[in-house]
Structure 1
Amino acid sequence: MTKTIKRVAVIGTGVIGASWAALFLAKGLEVVATDISPNAKKALDDFIAAAWPALERLGLAPHASLSNLRFTDNLEAAVADSDLVQENGPERIDFKQDLYRRLDGLLARDVIIASSSSGLTMSAIQSACPDHAERCVIGHPFNPPHLIPLVEIVGGNKTSEETVHRVTEFYRALGKRTIRLHKEVPGHVANRLQAALYREVVHLISEGVVSVGDADTAVSWGPGLRWGAMGPSLLNHLGGGQGGIEHFFEQFTGPMTAWWHVLGSPELTAEVRARIIKGVHEETQSRSVRDIAAYRDDVLLGLLSLRHAEV
């Protein structure tokens, strides 16, 4: 169980899988990718080519090369001789269980199977593995994985601590910032936090309090800037002045908890969705998705360069 991870099999090469593949290549690993979708290989090659300049800015590992990528539509060939599998298949429990049942029979017992699943629990997924469910774990990235350092690690009820330790060390060696969830919850942590904020955004828009564009401005040019530097509890420690978090709670517990009681529980009706869609298109000012993503990635690269010592 101390096997060095040099070759990674990437199952599923959509947006998340392709991003993982780009990162693994940039870190000097061998990557064998597989996907049965039509034109999957071209889409993967195009994604990695577009992502490579950003990865070069972040710094490539010795021996990092696009030539370390191989593609096949054959699952068995893809996972042969792999040291770790990063699975990015559809979020359907029947699909995942069938896939993991097959992988359990194909892979040596010391090969970790990590899932990028954002919504399914590993306990449910690994229940289909008859032999070595202990090596299955959630390794959930935040999009896009080749830039965002966060990885959420969640074991199922059969996942071994050894697997959690090995996959944590693997991701950290890639420069990732990992968090460990000690309980399985739908959506893990980061997506739940994101969903909680967006629920209130939708509420404020649906109630006519603020426009779509102004809600985005409020987040990205207000607390979002601070969240790019540190998390809310540490920021509240600063908010308490010289008295720190203790003074913050003394001063703001009342007002803060009063706001909790009036937060909204909106419904995403057709009317609300139409209002948000209209507002988003007004906000984009006819910029393409590709252009907006490029702007996002450029800002992320700047932030990452500032935080390089931490990452």
Structure 2
Amino acid sequence: MNRLAVIGTGVIGNGWIARALAQGWHVVAFDPDLNAPARTRAFVDNAWPSLTQLGLATGASPERLTFANTLEEAVNDADLIQENVPERLALKQDILAAIDAAAAPGVIIGSSTSGFKPTDLQKHCQQAPRRVIVAHPFNPVYLLPLVELVGGDVTQPEQLASAQALYQALAMRPLLVRREIEGHIADRLMEALWREALHLVNDGVATTEEIDAAVVYGCGLRWSLMGTFLTFHLAGGDQGMRHMLEQFGPALKLPWTKLEAPELTDELIDKVVEGCEHQAAGRSVAALDRRRDDFLVELLDVVHKYWPEAEGLKGRI
């Protein structure tokens, strides 16, 4: 039976815990917050209906979760270690160095960092720094299968191959990033859209609700099946991407985007916050989580139907 050690039990750490439990793994968590165990168990309880609907692995049970009293106890005998502390480089470096010193040298240590490069994360590790990699998931981790795997300067191909197999055993869809870069792949794409959306709100072009509608009822529907490049390939008609670039390529030089993020003034912050609160319509975050999860369960069934290579994940998200 595989054993996952989870260090840090915020939203992402708890997402890893719920996913691993649903796959029949044993999970040992560590978080210095005394309230962490209660929060984690409530999180798992909220996620379990969606995981049950998708299909649980043999032996899956929330009872396979335990909390350790120390970091060293948590990583002892782990088959995989996932670090999820707050996104501050110095903090992550210190925690990863402590994990590296305590864990058996052959155990992969994945960091859930959304932006830092693995070479920077490995900097203070003394025992086996090469096994410290980026393993960046997406919220909700227990439903979304993508995990970006990135190795640092000293990481060897065998470490990434081992990591890929372990995350596949968690029913993830590992994406091996060819070289390290801040923000990896998916977050860089999302941040570009996010910056543009903030400009549109700041300039009074659209509200948060209107921008979200543009994604939900337009590009987002296509992206969920075929992503960016294949979508544009179809835009070129029978000649595909070549014709699309010939016809629409010059528009890339037009001032349609603003690459720099707008200044987060009090006025812009108020516009964004008020817009989101209007969209939430009084519903709690927990209620919105359940709505999102119900939607994702149904959407993932559609993705599995139309992506044959995802078929192996069906029932084991």
TM-score range, shorter chain: over 0.9
CA distance in 1, matches of 2:241, 2:202: 34
Are 2:151 and 1:151 equivalent residues in the alignment? no
Query: Matches of 1:261 and 1:138 in 2, distance apart?
Result: 30
Which aligned segments of 4 or more residues in structure 1 are displaced greater than 4 angstroms? 259-265
The aligned residue for residue 246 of structure 2 is 250
Q: Hey, what does 1:163 align to over in structure 2?
A: 159
Whether the 8 Å CA contact 2:145–2:171 is kept in 1: the answer is: yes
Shift of 1:40: 0.4
SS of 1:138 mapped into structure 2: strand
Aligned to 2:66: 70
Task: Report what 1:106 is aligned to.
Answer: 102
Q: Output the CA distance in 1 between the equivalents of 2:144 and 2:214.
A: 22
Instruction: Tell me the TM-score normalized by structure 1.
Output: 0.94
**Does residue 1:182 correspond to 2:197, yes or no?**
no
Query: Which residue of 2 is the match for residue 39 of structure 1?
Result: 35
1:282 equivalenced with 2:278 (yes/no): yes
> For residues 252 and 263 of structure 2, what CA distance do their matches in structure 1 show?
24
Q: Does 1:307 align with 2:303?
A: yes
User: What is residue 187 of structure 2 aligned with on the other side?
Assistant: 191
Distance between the aligned counterparts of 1:119 and 1:226, measured in 2?
Answer: 26
Question: Alpha-carbon deviation of 1:262?
Answer: 5.9
Shift of 1:122: 1.4
Alignment of 1:136 with 2:132, yes or no, is: yes
Q: Find the residue that maps to 1:64 and give its secondary structure.
A: coil
Q: Which amino acid aligns with 1:189?
A: I
Q: What's the TM-score, normalizing by structure 2?
A: 0.92
- Give matches, 1:118-137, under 5 Å: 118-137=114-133
Partner of 2:112: 116
Deviations 1:31-87 (A, max 9, x none): 111111121000011101111111111111111122211112311111111111011
| RMSD of Structure 2 on Structure 1 (CA) | 1.6
One-letter amino acid of the counterpart of residue 225, structure 1: L
Count the aligned residue pairs. 307
1:267 deviates by: 1.7
- How far off its partner does 1:274 sit? 0.8
Structure 2: distance between partners of 1:107 and 1:255: 53
Q: Which AA in structure 1 matches 2:78?
A: S
Counterpart in 2 of 1:271?
A: 267
Matched, 1:54 2:50: yes
Distance 1:99 1:262 in 2: 37
Unpaired stretches in structure 2, ≥5 consecutive residues: none
Question: Does the CA contact (< 8 Å) of 1:203 and 1:264 recur in 2?
Answer: no
Shift of 1:19: 0.7
Residue 206 of structure 1 pairs with residue 202 of structure 2: yes
Q: How far 1:182 moved relative to its partner?
A: 2.2
Q: 1:129 to 1:238 in 2, by over 3 A?
A: same
Pairwise CA distance, 1:212:
1.9
Give the match for residue 6 of structure 1.
Answer: 2
Q: 1:200 to 1:262 in 2, by over 3 A?
A: closer
The letter of the residue matching 1:114 is: G
For the pair 1:296 / 2:292, whether they are aligned, the reply is: yes
Structure 1 partner of 2:20: 24
Q: Is this contact kept in 1: 2:80–2:166, CA < 8 A?
A: no
Q: Which has the higher contact order (CA 8 A, sep 6+)?
A: 2
